[in-house]
Structure 1
Amino acid sequence: MNASDRTPADLLRSALATDPARPLVTFYDDATGERIELSVTTFANWVAKTANLLQGDLAAAPGDRLALLLPAHWQSAVWLLACSSVGVVVDIGGDPADADLVVAGPGHFDAGLACSGERVALSLAPLGRRFPQPPAGYLDYAVEVPSQGDRFAPYAPVDPDAPALAVDGIEFTGAQLVERARADAAGFGLAPGSRLLSGRSYDSWEGLSAGLYAPLAAGGSVVLCPYLGELSQEGLAKRVDSERVTKTAV
């Protein structure tokens, strides 16, 4: 990765310039049997479309606060990088009443209505399917995002020293987030091409780092398995072998 990268969006741009075809996020939902693998190019395309939705249709601006009420999921990872691209502060599991926008998944729609700003719902169904009928008071992400542009340019440069992420009561700037992700990558022993298998949730820094930021900072990739603890030892061994996993974070 480029030593001058100071925001997560910078890290993604460097990954796109270095090796766009390599896998970046592989997601398993063992409850439904879903497996989806996104290359750097495909992931970056989802990020650009989501950032355009944020900046354009949702009128989000740098410094706005977004309550992210989603589990560890490939679409959650997309939202994290899209917010970084715009300069929106992601508040993991944040109070919707204190947020300018809310992005919610199943189980959080009622709570999300406390947000007086824009609300976006994700079904988290396989292949990112839309709702048969979106929850009342919400836009359906799967309906809104496909028509967005494939390239994104922020209206204003993102300040790496501005708040970017809040989790576990701790707030990080973009630059602090990148610095910590690089340190975690070194701690995991990650290098370009490493494959980190993560079963951690996205409700802590440790889960967010293992499940996205550290592999991105290292030039590696993540195999995101939120139901990893339910696999047998044999199933885990097969997953590690089939996905060419080099490191694990359980």
Structure 2
Amino acid sequence: MRPPLPPEAAVARWRARLADGHPVTEAEALRLLADFGLTVTPCAMAKDESEAVEAAMRIGFPVALKTAGTAHKTDVDGVRLNLADPVALRQAHRDLAVRLGPRVVVARMVRDKGVEMMLGLQRDPDFGPVVVIGFGGIHAEILRDAAFALPPFDAAEARRLIDRLRLRPLLDGARGAPAADVDALAEAAARFSTLAAALGDLVEAIDVNPVLALPRGAVAVDALVVPRR
């Protein structure tokens, strides 16, 4: 197998965007992933309550509401999940706005439960961009269960990286949970590695956490992109 080919038009567009010096919003970060073939949850930025409601109506309820501009949103109690209608959304937005400001990300809830994984890009002083794949969620930094590889690589190599993880049996189903689609997760990792190879010289770090490994498919839910200065 060969690594996925980078989409030439997307590479040119994103190289220009990352070089312009402006911060990358979460909605942009997810759009970047989608342009390289990863499945992402639909989302939109909103600067106030009215825009948040409009975005949710377009995306479809239930939605999640996340404060914008904070990397570790759960650390500041900046996430509200399973908001089923405009009333619940308005109430959640007012709570977040008072404490953290009115700018938010509105995202469609992923209905299926999955295993929380993560994909990342780090910079090594000797080797340059390095791809990280591991178990994610809010405890990713505590679990520290990850594998590393130089990009790009194919889905078979991604599968080998996944199989090295200490908690790998969780992907086969635990306590009655269905098995995760490891093939889809490996394909997502391979596509992410293509992104890392094509844009890594312009990026300081990327954190895609969580990537939900579902019974069918793998979906990126949250993403942070830090351009190089």
TM over 0.5: no
Bigger strand share = 2
Q: TM-score, normalised by structure 1?
A: 0.28
**Normalising to structure 2: TM-score of the pair?**
0.30
- Greater relative contact order structure (CA < 8 Å, 6+ sep): 2
